[in-house]
Structure 1
Amino acid sequence: MFTYVVNKCSAVRLSLLLIAALLLSACVAPALLLSPQGQLMWAMIKPMVGLDPKEVNLFEQPLIKNRLEPLLGEHYQTAVSLLNTADEIKQQGIKQQGPLFYVASNYTPLPQLAEKAGFVWNAETNQMAVLISRGGATKIFAEAVEKKAKTVLPVWPDELVDYAQMASNPQKLLQQQLEQQKQQLLEQPQQQLQQAIDAQKQQLIDAPKQQFKQAIDAQKQQLIEAPKQQLEQAIDAQKQQLIEAPKQQLEQAIDTQKQQLTDAPKQQLQQAIEAQQQQLSEQPEPQLKKLAAPVPKQD
């Protein structure tokens, strides 16, 4: 029983090792078939597939730069400037196992010099090639490689085939560009009309929302400003009272003094008359008669 379990475990381990070997052979086998320089190139560029060529400094790597500079000459900087606009380093083939590693520019930062650039390295032939396209014409720069005494022409990925064909037929690319421009001119009015319709729809949708929002904002503003206005009115009223109160008191005091000055002589005269009347009423009647008798004349 123990022997059976051990043998069974050994069989499982052996199966796993065989599966791992098969998986590794799928990746390693192509590299083992290359020349020493090709193996170095494969080991460098294979892990970079899917990465941004500018971020990984692909064209500053000595294995590539030392081969492209003499190949491109004065066109080296132009080609690299365009190639660095690519999103990623690509590998053509089923499940990215093909021999072509390439980079295709997305746009041109130097329209006066070139409109499109492409780079390809063929792992089977260890050949590098670059194409630069401008004005409907394409220039191809390819390393000289011989195989069985025959010159090997560069192989291009599907994305760059049309541009590569322009090297022998520049009118084809020009015709494609003209057709693209026509298509853009045809689609532009439709896009503008659609944009106008969408804008009107959006306005019709947004208008009630904006009006409702404006009404709410106005009510909020009124609710905020009403207490302020009431407070300001109360403060102004208090200020006015504080200003007018001393004036009223002063006017009242002046009027009182005037009245007192006017009434004082009248009261004094009235008091004098009443005093004389009192004195007259208190004197005896004979004295009054005596006082009232006529004075005798003297001879």
Structure 2
Amino acid sequence: MTTAPVRPASYYAPHGGHPDQSQLLTDRAMFTEAYAVIPRGVMRDIVTSFLPGWHDTRLWVLARPLSGFAETFSQYIVEVSPGGGSDRPETDLGAESVLFVVEGELTITIDGDRHELRAGSYVYLPPAQRWTAVNHGSTEARFHWIRKAYEPVPGLDAPDAFVTHEEDVVPTPMPDTDGRWVTTRFADPTDLRHDMHVNIVTFEPGAVIPFAETHVMEHGLYVLEGKAVYRLNQDWVEVEEGDFMWLRAFCPQACYAGGPGRFRYLLYKDVNRHMRLPRSFA
């Protein structure tokens, strides 16, 4: 099996602030019927939110269930100041979560077991899981928090919680790419207990998605590193580290990684369940 060379990972994180009054309005933000692009330049202090039960913490909301667009997940970038965190972070017992740390250090406890997280750490939390999070460090911790309403299936238990790190997972090359396009899969794709996957996709400079992917899965794509030209529906869009792409089901997509370095993104998709069918009532 061919794998990409191992290199130090890089993870972009927003820091907020505001542009000064000399800046022009021109930006790359866009929202269409098929996709949205939220560039890193719009993740400013003025658009942060706060959550009950969290202290010394703010977040940028990148995606939320939106009728007629993408309906299965929410995604935040959470910034926890030193000493901040929560003893009761999740209020929805039916929600499962993935946490992915992009900067700083965070301590979480899961059923009383303590885990020290750093950039590149990955956590899966099943529905109704008890956990806490606190920043014991001296600088801000920043992490992605992806949430989905878990869809139970008779005869299948919910997945177990687990903690891992990107460097501990061997990337899987896409067929016929000579390792230039690889996917780091944190959950076993054959484990049907999971109804969402959050992976890291990596392209070497010049690598491509050589066809327009068109499929039922919704996507959130946060660019961790590098830059590329991404095909979204009928448009080619330039994206760079820190940008977020939000795709509804069946939005065609492709990619050309223009370099000079690797292009990498954190990818959400919904998987392994029947499509929900509408019901009519008399």
Q: Which has the higher contact order (CA 8 A, sep 6+)?
A: 2
Structure with higher helix content: 1
TM-score band, normalised by the shorter chain? Answer: under 0.3
User: What TM-score does the superposition give when structure 1 sets the normalisation length?
Assistant: 0.21
**What is the TM-score normalised by the length of structure 2?**
0.22
